[in-house]
């Protein structure tokens, strides 16, 4: 397993003599064969600016910096959980890597491999199922049909410019489609991908929506998409703030839609901090709820989310209420090697899941500059197991909880929808 590095022009090479090493948090570690999968289709190799790659001398076991080069990481597709970070040191301590999830990559048996795990079936999220030529035609046709709908116009930009697959589904008329609704948020997430302070050092990879949609616009998008048993319409996208801040228009829009159709599923991706708002949305007919979370430890949670006028306890109460009303609840668990797999983090999260009745863990790679993230959260207090073993412990401790990466529809509810169709 040989070191992969890039030259100053971004050309990627494998080193003929140095073995690859990776990082688990801030700890350099060897990469095990069982932690590697072939570079997935749709993955991208990127050079990490202002870094120097680190390899290992196979004869001495010594860690060696490869000066004059830059480290290389892999950006893996959705559904692949990274297990290790690339092995590198920064040449400029003030430099911050762009907001992506970097996975360790090696050269082995004449091919690239990454430290990763396939956590879900990626068929519905395979970019090959979203041909751009057809998407452009479908966007044009949909906007002609709904020329005044600002949400669909906004989603056309997300689909065509950012190649957002959830936004694209609105135009392909299938699977999980986006319904952004909020330009405000009750959290100031350190790694927010749609809004960053000017002095943060992180360029936002997406542009947040800048208007408040009307109730009629919401209803129009929902009815347009909810026409098959497997269709899902989702509040809470990367291009918006916290959707439950707009409960005043979400709730009546949902009720109007459910007066006209029982087809498909209504989902919300939320931080769940506004418990009273979440209760109202649940009572209006919510089917699925995914709670974004990074830790079940207050100090760590607060450091990343920087919540405004809510606490982790509010999040737990929201999840408990939704589960008690029959909503299929999941967590959008932002994972970072060397933190996700800490003993105290796992113990707290397992207790949170048991308390709240969560049915699904959606593992999502945290897009962040590693040094910035590690500097702001509490240090490890117990054993650090490694990502692969940590996931296996979750499977053992929570045998009735599904571990995946995407929104799942409960099989029994899907059967009922199909019978009604």
- Residue pLDDT tens, the chain, 421 long: 999 999 988 999 999 999 999 999 999 999 999 999 999 988 999 999 999 999 999 999 999 999 999 999 999 998 999 999 999 999 999 999 988 999 999 999 999 999 999 999 989 998 889 999 999 999 999 999 999 999 999 999 999 998 999 999 999 999 999 999 998 888 888 877 666 555 555 555 667 778 999 999 999 999 999 999 999 999 998 788 899 999 999 999 999 999 999 999 999 999 999 999 999 999 999 999 999 999 999 999 999 999 999 999 999 999 999 999 999 999 999 999 999 999 999 999 999 999 999 999 999 999 999 999 999 999 999 999 999 999 999 999 999 999 999 999 988 888 877 776 6
> What are phi and psi for residue 93, nearest 5 degrees?
-65, -20
Terminal Cα-to-Cα distance of the chain (whole angstroms): 52
pLDDT at 204: 59
| Among 206, 124, 219, 238, CA closest to 172 | 124
CA dihedral (110, 112, 117, 121) in degrees, to 10, reads: -90
Place of tokens 């000017």: 198
Contacts for 28 with CB less than 8 Å, ≥ 6 apart: 21, 22, 54, 63, 87
Helical H segments across 103-214, by residue range: 132-145, 150-161, 165-172
The full length of the chain comes to 421
Counting beta carbons within 10 angstroms of the beta carbon of residue 130, is it exposed (0 to 12), middle (13 to 18) or buried (19 or more)? middle
* 179-235: pLDDT as tens digits: 999 988 888 888 776 665 555 555 556 677 789 999 999 999 999 999 999 999 999
pTM over 0.85: yes
Could you give the CA distance from residue 323 to residue 317 in angstroms, rounded to a whole number?
Answer: 10
Q: What is the C-alpha separation between 39 and 356, in angstroms, rounded?
A: 36
- Tell me the chain's radius of gyration from C-alpha atoms: 22
d(Cα 4, Cα 110) in Å, to the nearest integer?
Answer: 12
- DSSP β-bridge partners for residue 289: 268, 329
Reduced to 3 states (helix: H, G, I; strand: E, B; else coil), residue 414 is helix
Distance CA 193, CA 239 (A): 8
User: Which of 197, 148, 153, 155 minimizes the C-alpha distance to 179?
Assistant: 155
């Amino acid at each position: 397993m040989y070191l992969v590095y890039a030259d100053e022009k971004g050309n990627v090479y494998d080193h003929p003599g140095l073995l690859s090493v990776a990082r688990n948090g801030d700890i350099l570690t060897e990469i095990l064969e069982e932690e590697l999968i072939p570079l997935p289709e749709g993955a991208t190799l990127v050079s990490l600016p202002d870094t120097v790659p680190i390899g290992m001398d196979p004869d001495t076991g010594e860690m060696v910096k490869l000066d004059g080069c830059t480290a290389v990481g892999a950006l893996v597709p959705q559904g692949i959980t990274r297990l290790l970070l690339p092995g590198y040191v920064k040449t400029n301590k003030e430099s911050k890597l762009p907001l992506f999830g970097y996975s360790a990559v090696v050269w082995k048996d004449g091919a690239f491999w990454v430290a990763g795990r396939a956590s879900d079936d990626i068929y519905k999220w395979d970019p090959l199922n979203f041909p751009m030529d057809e998407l452009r035609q479908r966007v044009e046709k949909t906007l002609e049909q709904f020329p005044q709908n600002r949400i669909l116009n906004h989603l056309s930009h997300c689909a065509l410019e950012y190649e957002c697959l959830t936004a694209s589904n609105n135009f392909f008329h299938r699977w999980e489609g986006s319904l952004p609704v909020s330009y405000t948020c009750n959290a100031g997430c350190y790694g927010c991908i749609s809004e960053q302070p000017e002095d943060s050092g992180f360029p936002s990879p997406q542009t947040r929506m800048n208007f408040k949609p009307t109730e009629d616009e919401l209803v129009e998008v929902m009815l347009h998409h909810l026409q098959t048993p497997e269709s899902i319409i989702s509040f809470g996208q990367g291009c918006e703030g916290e959707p439950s801040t707009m409960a005043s228009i979400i709730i009546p829009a949902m009720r109007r839609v459910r007066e006209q159709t029982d087809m498909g599923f209504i989902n919300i991706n939320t931080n769940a901090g506004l418990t009273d708002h979440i209760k109202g949305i649940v009572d209006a007919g919510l089917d699925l709820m995914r709670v974004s979370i990074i830790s079940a430890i207050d100090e760590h949670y607060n450091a990343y989310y920087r919540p405004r006028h809510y606490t982790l306890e509010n999040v737990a109460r929201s999840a408990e209420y939704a589960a008690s009303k029959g909503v299929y609840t999941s967590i959008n668990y932002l994972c970072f090697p060397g933190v996700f797999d800490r003993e105290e983090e796992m113990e707290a999260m397992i207790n949170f899941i048991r308390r709240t009745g969560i049915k699904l863990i959606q593992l999502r790679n945290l897009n962040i500059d590693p040094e910035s993230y590690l500097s702001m959260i509490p240090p490890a207090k117990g054993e650090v197991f490694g990502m692969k073993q940590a996931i296996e412990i979750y499977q053992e401790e929570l045998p009735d909880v599904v571990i995946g990466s995407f929104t799942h529809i409960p099989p029994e509810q899907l059967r009922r929808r199909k019978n009604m169709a």
